[in-house]
């Protein structure tokens, strides 16, 4: 498995080049070629914490992707990023992890 940091991902991706990719993804979603269920949002208090879970699946790509994020507004005061997250892709055919994984933190 390959794990990429946020810096490595943004260094490797041409963000302007992502515009046609996103347009294609939105067309695929509109044409029901990609399945994206509703997000799950869980609020915890105290402290003010939000857990966000979402997934998507594509027969064309043979992938199912799961993304999880936590948002904790008080983390920056502790020197920790407020947003912590991970994206993991699985091969639909076998359920095994694909060689794609990304961990991200954002202040």
pLDDT along the chain (107 residues), means of 10: 65 76 82 81 82 87 88 86 86 85 61
User: Given its phi and psi angles, is residue 95 left (phi above 0), alpha (psi -120 to 50 degrees) or beta?
Assistant: left
* Dist CA 52 CA 24 (whole Å): 25
**What is the pLDDT at residue 94?**
92
**What is the pLDDT at residue 74?**
86
User: Given its phi and psi angles, is residue 32 left (phi above 0), alpha (psi -120 to 50 degrees) or beta?
Assistant: left
CATH class of 3-106: alpha beta
Question: pTM here?
Answer: 0.60
């Amino acid at each position: 498995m390959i794990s990429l940091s946020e810096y490595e991902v943004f260094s490797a991706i041409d963000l302007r080049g992502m515009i046609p990719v996103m347009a294609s993804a939105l067309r695929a979603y509109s044409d029901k070629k990609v399945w994206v269920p509703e997000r799950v949002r869980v609020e915890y208090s105290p402290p003010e914490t939000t857990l966000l879970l979402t997934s998507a699946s594509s027969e064309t790509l043979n992938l199912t992707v799961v993304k999880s994020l936590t948002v904790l507004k008080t983390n920056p005061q502790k020197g920790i990023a407020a947003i912590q997250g991970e994206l993991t892709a699985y091969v639909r055919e076998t359920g095994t992890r694909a060689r794609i994984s990304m961990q991200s933190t954002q202040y």
